[in-house]
Amino acid sequence: MSSEIYDIGYRHYDGPRLGPGHSTRALAVHSLRGVFGLGRTARSKIMPFSLAAVMLLPAIVSIAMMAMMGRRGMPYSGFAVFMQPVLAIFLASQAPTVVAPDLRFRVLPLYLSRPVTITQYVGAKVAAMTAAMSLLVAAPVTLIYVGELVIDLDGPPQTKEYLGALVTGLLLSLLLSSVGLAIASLTPRRGLGVASVIAVYLLSSASVPIVYSTLASTGNDAGARWAWLLNPFWLVDAVQVWLFGTTPNAEGEYPAGPYCGLVVVALIAVGLAALALRYRKAASR
């Protein structure tokens, strides 16, 4: 019996070792591209770019109002609250594309076989979704601010309110991404993930007027103020009012003090923990 040895050309890698940080960044960039359908079929790009275009329409209208009527349009602090249906649809439609494929095709153990931990994997996914949501808020708000500077309206530019809108937009994006990805990760089916995220948003939005009216009718005004916090957009708006002294964008007042900020931090922590537990369970299978 004879044997032969074949040289198939394998060589040792002698280049730089980039480490887990580079792997995490690469995963985040890959996930961010996936949110907008980049590198995928043309059909995958229709929804995210259509919603991004819708987000720009109020900015264009606001600039037109400043140019033709000499007065400001939509306030920076109220942009995200006013556009919350579009942001909710974007989150519901794109969050499952970030988490569902890896769960459905059970490729998570392949990621974790490299120097990428569950924490780094979850961090990359949340960072990608947060960046996408922040871009949707920051781009039109910045466009309005640039239009205000170019048109040069009477009085100083609303720089403080603009910067506050960017900060709270980032906070809102982190909150929505943490909770939205946690909900979407509960099922590997993209359609069920979309339905789950939008159902939670509709439930939170529909419960606000019911709870608020019920508490207000009984004379419990303090409790009625907390009803606005059932919706994540008004919750972050309450933080914006507390931090930057802006005008509330709800019909009623918010609870005073840092309590709203503590609620936001708690919800983000719960979302991240739930996402990590879900992936740890999926990786162990």
The pLDDT of residue 252 is 77
| In the chain, % of residues over pLDDT 90 | 61
What radius of gyration, in Å, describes the C-alpha atoms of the chain?
A: 23
Longest dimension (CA), the chain: 95
Averaged pLDDT for residues 138-155: 92
Averaged pLDDT for residues 164-170: 97
46-79 pLDDT per residue, tens: 999 999 999 999 999 999 999 998 888 889 999 9
DSSP category for residue 116: -
Averaged pLDDT for residues 183-198: 91
Q: Which structure tokens are listed for 213? A: 């009216």
The pLDDT of residue 14 is 72
Q: Which structure tokens are listed for 45? A: 């790009």
95 CB neighbour count, 10 Å cutoff: 29
The pLDDT mean for the chain works out to: 89
User: Is the per-residue pLDDT at 205 higher than 80?
Assistant: yes
The whole-angstrom separation of Cα 202 and Cα 85 is 9
CA angle 118, 125, 261 (to 5 degrees): 95
The pLDDT of residue 23 is 82
Residue 53 and residue 139 in contact, taking contact as beta carbons nearer than 8 Å: no
Going by C-alpha positions, the residue among 96, 90, 91, 86 that lies closest to residue 193 is: 96
The whole-angstrom separation of Cα 98 and Cα 183 is 12
Going by C-alpha positions, the residue among 169, 175, 166 that lies closest to residue 263 is: 175
At 8, the pLDDT band (50, 70, 90 cuts) reads: low
The pLDDT of residue 179 is 96
User: 16 Cβ partners below 8 Å, 6+ apart?
Assistant: none
Predicted TM-score (pTM) of the model is 0.91
At 164, the pLDDT band (50, 70, 90 cuts) reads: very high
Averaged pLDDT for residues 155-181: 95
Torsion 153-136-226-262 (CA) sign = negative
Which range among 7-21, 73-87, 209-223 has the greatest average pLDDT?
73-87
What are the distances in angstroms from CA 34 to CA 29, 74, 98, 128, 231?
9, 31, 7, 9, 27
The pLDDT of residue 103 is 76
User: 163 Cβ partners below 8 Å, 6+ apart?
Assistant: none
